[in-house]
Amino acid sequence: MTWRAHVLTLFPKMFPGPLGESLAGRALANGIWSLVLHDIRAAATGRHRSVDDTPFGGGPGMVMRADVVDAAIEAVGAPDLPLVHLSPRGVRLTQARVRRLAEGPGVVLLCGRYEGIDQRVLDARQVEELSIGDYVLSGGELAAMVLLDACVRLAPGVMGASDSAAEESFSSGLLEYPHYTRPADWQGHVVPDVLLSGNHAAIAAWRRQAALELTRRRRPDLLGSPLATAGAVANDCMTEKQP
């Protein structure tokens, strides 16, 4: 069944953008997923089709109107899909959340602009707010593309190797181990001997240990997660078995 993506935005011409290329683009062309764009401005009324207004209480910038955004959401007609607003104040997007979205029928993404969206429509519609990182963009469109790319690549038939996603960063709770390819000696930098040994058990143990050490250095906050703990335990067990 085709995975459905609906995007509500004031700038529909930004799409598909990079989603029309590479893995996501081929999957889109092959019908593995679909992308429907909804111009929020089409839901506005009045001569000027205004989608925003000044904030109550004062302050800089403009706020997207609750009535306009609500009408735009209603026009999508996809109540069976989760409704997500991309926002820097949202919960941090994780690989686990991406996987759950990818396993469902699709998603409706709401892209904000200006100072944000009137809180009343977010509350009334029980919108899930997700953030792709601790920084601020000009709008939600680029964040929506990030989320969609992360989801689409997990769809069956999108990635070439079926086990590619299983060994990536965050899939086991750890960062991914380093990768090497030819030449084995590049400008005096050599590939670790174990990777040339042909000993698959030793290679697996090296990769788990390398992932654990990399995570300890760069993302120690990940080590307390259940997945990371399980990975570390598995690594210790494999290491003990090595001669």
Give the model's pLDDT for residue 47. 86
User: Where would I find the H helices in 9-118?
Assistant: 22-29, 66-76, 95-103
Q: Measured between alpha carbons, how far is 16 from 37 in angstroms, rounded to an integer? A: 9
Residues 114 and 62 sit within 8 Å (Cβ to Cβ): yes
Which residue type sits at 216?
R
pTM: 0.87
Q: Indicate whether 166 pLDDT > 70.
A: no
Residue showing tokens 């997007």: 93
Going by pLDDT thresholds of 50, 70 and 90, the confidence category of residue 226 is low
Structural domains for the chain = 3-152 (3.40.1280.10), 168-241 (1.10.1270.20)
Which residue type sits at 73?
I
Q: Measured between alpha carbons, how far is 164 from 113 in angstroms, rounded to an integer? A: 35
State mean pLDDT over 224-237.
58
Q: Measured between alpha carbons, how far is 109 from 147 in angstroms, rounded to an integer? A: 9
First to last CA, the chain: 48
Give the model's pLDDT for residue 237. 45
Residues 90 and 129 sit within 8 Å (Cβ to Cβ): yes
Sign of the four-CA dihedral 153, 90, 110, 97: positive
pLDDT digits (tens, 9 = 90+) for 76-110: 999 999 999 999 999 999 999 999 999 999 999 99
- Mean pLDDT of the chain, nearest integer: 91
Q: Measured between alpha carbons, how far is 124 from 92 in angstroms, rounded to an integer? A: 22
Going by pLDDT thresholds of 50, 70 and 90, the confidence category of residue 48 is confident
